[in-house]
A and B are shown apart, each in its own frame.
Chain A
Amino acid sequence: MMDTLAQTDREPATASFLGGELGPGPAWLQSLREQARTRLGEIGFPTTEQEEWRFTNVAPLRQWPLHAAEPSARSISSADIQPFRLAADGYCLVFVDGRFRADLSTLPGRDAGFQAGSLQNNWDSDDARYMQQHLARYTKDETNFFTALNTVSFEDGALVSVPAGAVIEPPVQLLYLAASERPGAAVHARNLIVAHSGSSVKVIETYASLTEASHFTNAVTELALGPGARVEHCKLQNENERAFHIAAVQAVQGRNSHWLSHSIATGARLARNQIQTRLNDEGAEAILNGLYLARGEQLIDHHTVVDHAQPRCESHEFYYGILADRSHGVFNGKIFVRQDAQKTNAKQTNRNLVLSEHALINTKPQLEIFADDVKCTHGATVGQLNDEALFYLRSRGIGAALARRMLVRAFANDAVERITLPQVRAYLDQLLTGLFEGLDTSLSSHDR
């Protein structure tokens, strides 16, 4: 095809891509997709005029040569994915450019006591019935353009289902790798995690790039926690510096369930994470833990929603941000306490470490409380490295650069320590150490 023609074709092609072609699947899924497509038109593509997208400009996506990611031209081997596999003893579902790769995956056997596999491989099976029960039931399709777009267009993703009472010790990793050399490859990834009553499972969701080409990830993960279920969900996003990464994680929690959520965001040119939970029955507890490290021109945005719908639920939210260079961080933390949700205990903390005078953080807590017998606290801080601590370290012989890295690492420490999986902590330790080595932390004064 001639270049000029490709150029003129680009705009409409991109527009139609974002307008949503229906993805594959059986009739029940198609009807969900069509409903979502109707909403797409109603919501419209987000602009910075909208409060929810005020600081996060996704307009550049419309100029991208967006296209559905094609099967990767080069073959991806298990050696390629090895650096991203975090749990040698665990399970791993590998998706390359959105396509499930059974050959690279480690799936649970029949005796593993739970089910994990690709959605596509299951939506025609006997299990489709409960997929119908859960899929697209919890996400806020009606307000979020990208979530609705995902429902319309997703091709595949992971299904993890843990039967009642099952306690799954080895972690389950969902590994999404972008391998396309052609700029603009888009993947709508969709995950469904169902933990039935009294069950327990740990899921690691990883997003990374194998090339330097721009790509667009639009991921949606839904989690349903039955009564007494315990789920640890760790989302690790370290895509390349040209990528746009938009993700929604939506949990719905039953009675006395416990959700431990981590979002560790270090990659992508623009990253937007919506981390949301609905505490839907008494005694449910959610811990939302987050760490974002933005460098260069990166923008990393977290919007969290904790919806206290029922009485006697607890939520503890800790989001820590490190902002270097000319980067931009956004944190918006909503807590709803519904009228019925008496005896709610909700706590939110957002701390930011700003390492450069050109870096920017917009942080906003948003509490909407309709019950009267509740305990809600929130706090946001923005600061720099502590000069006294820096001097103390240096006065013992530790060089200024290393001392600063130690303090930056220390700032991130609480967030890392909240992760119970030692493999993930070890991985992050290495990742953060590497990232901090390249970090310009020189803002702190008194350097001589």
Chain B
Amino acid sequence: MLEIHNLSAGVDGKEILKGLNLSVQAGEVHAIMGPNGSGKSTLAQVLAGRGEYAVTSGSVTFNGVSLLELKPEERARAGVFLAFQYPVEIPGVNSTVFLKAAFNECRKARGEQELDAVEFLALVKKKTKLLELDPALLNRAVNEGFSGGEKKRNEIFQMAVLEPKLAILDETDSGLDIDALKIVSGGVNKLRRPDNATLVITHYQRLLNYIVPDRVHVLVHGQIVKSGGKELALELEQRGYDWLLAGAASNGKP
């Protein structure tokens, strides 16, 4: 589904990703772990199409399409979804109006019928239950005045409504207490299907107790230095990242 080949990218002339390779198949959950500043969030932003990040080399193929040539909205319509680490507050834009516009733009792009207000609200009602999200939040402006936990839950709620092919969860666990973490990961698990994939970006192993990955990758200095099964996450939890940092510095490549 997703093939990242030798991807290098940076911001303001500073290279952050340095020849990253990754392959994700449909139905899989991959975890990207790594210390602060290793490039985890940059990878998420580059995949979603954030304009500030310049791709200097490499390719990203998503279901046979060259992802890097698409605008952010085109990527979303193709089925890429980024759950933001810091969801943006947008005063004056109503949550429901926003999500309905997004939902219908995605459907239109797939040649599907747009939903009218009544149909859409029925869908929304169903999905709020999945995330135990207070429906009253949807009458407010996008993320405005939401608590940290509400913002994260709202991200996964949007994901539930938009039903992406590839979901990228950028530090979705940060700022969540254990109850919220269970709800959010429960939501993610319910959305798992054989034809979609999830990329979980996290600093801590904790989230992976709830969203169990098929593969775990360690990102250090803009490269994946080690990959393994879910047991790798536990090893990182015990040993930290230092033993991998040393290796990355001397080898350059995994």
Contact = CB atoms under 8 A, between A and B. Distances in A.
B3 interface: no
Interface stretch (A229-237, A302-310, A368-376, A398-406): A398-406
B93 interface: yes
B92 A414 contact: yes
Contacts of B72: 391, 394-395
B126 interface: no
A126 interface: no
Interface in B44-76: 48-52, 71-73, 75-76
A417 to B, nearest CB: 9
B98 A406 contact: yes
Interface in A370-395: 386-389, 391-395
Contacts of B103: 397
B105 interface: yes
A396 B76 contact: yes
A400 B71 CA distance: 9
B84 A399 contact: no
B88 interface: yes
B91 A406 contact: no
A411 B93 CA distance: 9
A3 B18 CA distance: 76
A392 B87 contact: yes
Kindly name the residue among A389, A397, A400 whose own CB sees the greatest number of chain B CB atoms within 10 A: A397
Contact of B77 (A397, A410, A411, A445): A397
Given A397-B76, A397-B162, A446-B51, A392 B92 contact: no
Contacts of B77: 397
Prevailing SS type, chain A contact patch: helix
Contacts of A47: none
Nearest to A416: B92
B102 interface: yes
B73 A392 contact: no
Contacts, number: 91
A413 B162 CA distance: 26
What band does the interface of chain A fall in when counting residues whose beta carbon is under 8 Å from B?
Answer: 20 to 34
A447 interface: yes
A445 B93 CA distance: 20
A393 B71 CA distance: 12
A391 B51 contact: yes
Contacts of A447: 51
B101 A398 contact: yes
Contact of B73 (A387, A394, A411): A394
Contact of B76 (A395, A406, A411, A414): A395
Top 8 A-B pairs, shortest CB-CB distance: A446-B51, A410-B92, A413-B92, A397-B76, A396-B102, A394-B72, A392-B88, A397-B106
Given A386-B90, A396-B81, A399-B73, 13 more contacts: A391-B51, A392-B142, A394-B73, A394-B76, A395-B48, A395-B49, A396-B102, A397-B77, A397-B105, A411-B92, A414-B92, A445-B51, A448-B71
A387 to B, nearest CB: 8
B82 interface: yes
B185 interface: no
A396 B90 contact: no
Contacts of B93: 389, 393, 406-407, 409-410
A446 B50 CA distance: 8
B98 A396 contact: yes
Interface of A: 386-389, 391-400, 402-403, 406-407, 409-414, 445-448
Given A395-B76, A397-B106, A397-B109, A402 B101 contact: yes
Contacts of B73: 394-400, 403
A30 B106 CA distance: 67
B158 interface: yes
Contacts of A387: 51-52
Contacts of B141: 410
Contacts of A399: 73, 105
B109 A410 contact: no
Contacts of B49: 394-395
Given A394-B73, A396-B158, A398-B73, A409 B92 contact: yes
A410 B89 CA distance: 12
Contacts of B158: 396
A396 B142 CA distance: 12
Contacts of A412: 92
Nearest to A402: B101
Nearest to A409: B92
Most buried by B among A388, A398, A403, A448: A398
A392 B101 CA distance: 13
B164 to A, nearest CB: 10
Nearest to B75: A395
Contacts of A411: 92
A411 B75 CA distance: 27
B109 to A, nearest CB: 7
30 contacts: A386-B88, A386-B90, A387-B52, A389-B90, A391-B51, A392-B87, A392-B88, A392-B90, A393-B90, A394-B49, A394-B71, A394-B73, A396-B73, A396-B81, A396-B162, A397-B103, A397-B106, A398-B98, A398-B102, A402-B105, A406-B98, A407-B92, A409-B92, A409-B93, A410-B92, A410-B141, A413-B91, A445-B51, A446-B51, A448-B51
Contacts of A406: 93, 97-98, 101
Nearest to A444: B51
